[in-house]
Structure 1
Amino acid sequence: MLKIENIDVFYGNIQALRDVSIEVNEGEIVTLIGANGAGKSTLLKTISGLLKPKKGKIEFLSNSIAGKQAQIIVKSGISHVPEGRRVFANLTVEENLELGAFLRKDKAGINSDMQKVYEIFPRLLERKKQHSGTLSGGEQQMLAMGRAIMAKPKLVLLDEPSMGLAPLMVKTIFEVIKDINQDGTTVLLVEQNANMALSVASRGYVIETGRVVLSGSANDLQTSEEVRQAYLGGH
C-alpha cells in the first residue's frame, strides 16, 4: 500500500533521514520504534506532505506522492494524527470532528461515521458541545484519532498516541488502534512505548539517527536481544 524507497530528508542543512526504505501492506499495523530524535516523526511528516524529501520515492497505492501538497495526500486516503494531538482548542468536539470530514461530500456517510466515532469514544459524545481546549490529554487524543477517522482514510499515521497519558488511557487507545485496524484501516504507528507498539503491530522498523537499522516481525523484534536492551528495558 505504501512504499518508501531510499529517501533523504533535511531540516535546513541537517540531515534528518538517510536512505530510508520501508513498506506497509494493506491491513497491517506497522510500528516505527527508536529513541527521541531518531527521525520517526520526520518520516510521518514526509509521508503526509508536511516535509519534502531531497531524494527517493514515496508511493501510495502505486501513485507517487513524494513532495505533493498535504491536502492532496489527505484526499488520496492518508490521515495523520500528529504528536501532541493538535486539536482546535477554541472549537467544540463536534466541530473538530466535522473538520476531519472537510474534504468529504457524502452527508449521510459523514453522519454515520460521526456516530461510529461516538460509539468508539463514548466520552466524546458526552463532551460534544464542549470546547476541545478544556478536555483532558486522553480525551484530546481520542478526539485527534476520531478526527482522523472522519476523513475515512485508508492509512492512518499515528504519532506518539500514548504520550503523556495515564496507563489506563494508554490501554484504551491501543484497544482502539486494534479496532480501527480490524475495521479495515491500515496503521503506521510511531510510539515511544515500544512494548505496547510491538504487542499490536504485525511488523516493525527500528530507526536510529535517521536510518533504518533493523526490521522484522513484531515477534522477532520483541525477542531480539538488541531491541530488548535498547528499547524494552530488558536485560
Structure 2
Amino acid sequence: MLQINDIHVYYGNIHAIKGISLEINQGEIVTLIGANGAGKSTLLKTISGLLKPKNGDILFEGQSVAGNVAQAIVKKGISQVPEGRRVFSNMSVEENLELGAYIRKDKQGIREDFDKVYQLFPRLHERRKQQAGTMSGGEQQMLAMGRALMARPRLLLLDEPSMGLAPLLVKTIFRIIKEINQSGTTILLVEQNANMALSIADRAYVIETGKIVLSGTSDELNQSEQIQMAYLGGH
C-alpha cells in the first residue's frame, strides 16, 4: 500500500532522514520505534506532505505522492493524527470532527462516520458540545483520532498516541487502534512505548539518527536482545 524508496529529508542543513526505505501492506499495523529525535515524526510529516523529500520517492497504492501538498494526500486516503494532538481548542468536539471531513461532499457518509466515531469513542458523544480545549489529554487524543477518521482514510498515521497519558488510558487507546485496524484501516504507528506498540503491530522498523537499523515481525523484535536493552527495559 505504501512504499518508501530511499528518501532523504533535510531541515535546513540538518540531514534528518538518511535514505530510509520501508513498505506497508494493506491491512497491517506497522510501528516505527526509536528514541526522541531519531526522525520518526519527520518521516510521518514527509509521508503526509508537510515536508518534501530532497531525494527518493513515496508511492501510495502505486502512485508517487512525494512532494504533493498535504490536502492532496488527505484526498488520496492518508490521514495523520499529529504528535501533541493539536485539537482546535476553541471549537466544540462536534466542530473538530466536522473539520476532519472538510474535503468530503457525501453528507450521508459523513453522518455514518460521525456515528462510527461516537461508537468507537462514547466519551466524545457525551462531550460533543464541549469545547475541545477544556477536555483531558486522553479525551483530546480520542478527538484527534476521531477527527482523522472523519476523512475516511485507508492509511492512518499515528504520531505518539500514548504520549502523556495515564497507563489505563494508554491501554484504552491501543485497544481502539486495534479496532480501527480490524475495521479495515491500515496503520503506521510512531510510538515511544515500544512494548505497547509491538503488542499490537504486525511488523516494526527501528529508526536511529534518520536510518532504519532493524526491521522484522513484532515477535522477532520482541525477542531481540538489542531491542530489549534499548527500548523494552529488558536485560
The gaps in structure 2 that reach 5 residues or longer are none
2-structure distance, mates of 1:172, 1:109: 26
Letter in 2 for 1:88: F
Task: Please report how far the alpha carbon of residue 178 of structure 1 lies from its aligned counterpart in structure 2 after TM superposition.
Answer: 0.3
Structure-to-structure mapping, 1:110-125, within 5 angstroms: 110-125=110-125
Structure-to-structure mapping, 1:1-235, within 5 angstroms: 1-235=1-235
2-structure distance, mates of 1:98, 1:222: 39
What TM-score, normalized to structure 1? 1.00
Letter in 2 for 1:171: K
Task: Please report how far the alpha carbon of residue 223 of structure 1 lies from its aligned counterpart in structure 2 after TM superposition.
Answer: 0.5
Residue 179 of structure 1: SS of its match in structure 2? helix
Letter in 2 for 1:57: D
Task: Please report how far the alpha carbon of residue 101 of structure 1 lies from its aligned counterpart in structure 2 after TM superposition.
Answer: 0.5
Task: Please report how far the alpha carbon of residue 96 of structure 1 lies from its aligned counterpart in structure 2 after TM superposition.
Answer: 0.2
1:78-122 Cα offsets, whole Å, 9 max, x none, are 000000000000100000000001011111110111011111111
Letter in 1 for 2:85: R
1:48-91 Cα offsets, whole Å, 9 max, x none, are 00000010010001010001100000000000000000000010
Residue 96 of structure 2: SS of its match in structure 1? helix
Task: Please report how far the alpha carbon of residue 219 of structure 1 lies from its aligned counterpart in structure 2 after TM superposition.
Answer: 0.5
CA RMSD of aligned residues (A): 0.4
Task: Please report how far the alpha carbon of residue 140 of structure 1 lies from its aligned counterpart in structure 2 after TM superposition.
Answer: 0.2
Task: Please report how far the alpha carbon of residue 131 of structure 1 lies from its aligned counterpart in structure 2 after TM superposition.
Answer: 0.5
2-structure distance, mates of 1:151, 1:175: 21
What TM-score, normalized to structure 2? 1.00
2-structure distance, mates of 1:159, 1:132: 19
2-structure distance, mates of 1:105, 1:178: 28
Task: Please report how far the alpha carbon of residue 232 of structure 1 lies from its aligned counterpart in structure 2 after TM superposition.
Answer: 0.3
Q: Which runs of 4+ in 1 moved over 2 A?
A: none
1:100-149 Cα offsets, whole Å, 9 max, x none, are 01011111110111011111111101100001000100000000000011
Letter in 2 for 1:25: N
1-structure distance, mates of 2:101, 2:49: 19
1-structure distance, mates of 2:46, 2:108: 33
Letter in 2 for 1:162: S
Letter in 2 for 1:150: M
Task: Please report how far the alpha carbon of residue 158 of structure 1 lies from its aligned counterpart in structure 2 after TM superposition.
Answer: 0.1
1-structure distance, mates of 2:58, 2:112: 32
Residue 156 of structure 1: SS of its match in structure 2? strand
2-structure distance, mates of 1:22, 1:135: 36
2-structure distance, mates of 1:115, 1:74: 21
When the two structures are aligned, how many residues end up with a matched partner? 235
Residue 52 of structure 2: SS of its match in structure 1? coil
2-structure distance, mates of 1:162, 1:172: 10
1-structure distance, mates of 2:161, 2:138: 9
Task: Please report how far the alpha carbon of residue 207 of structure 1 lies from its aligned counterpart in structure 2 after TM superposition.
Answer: 0.1
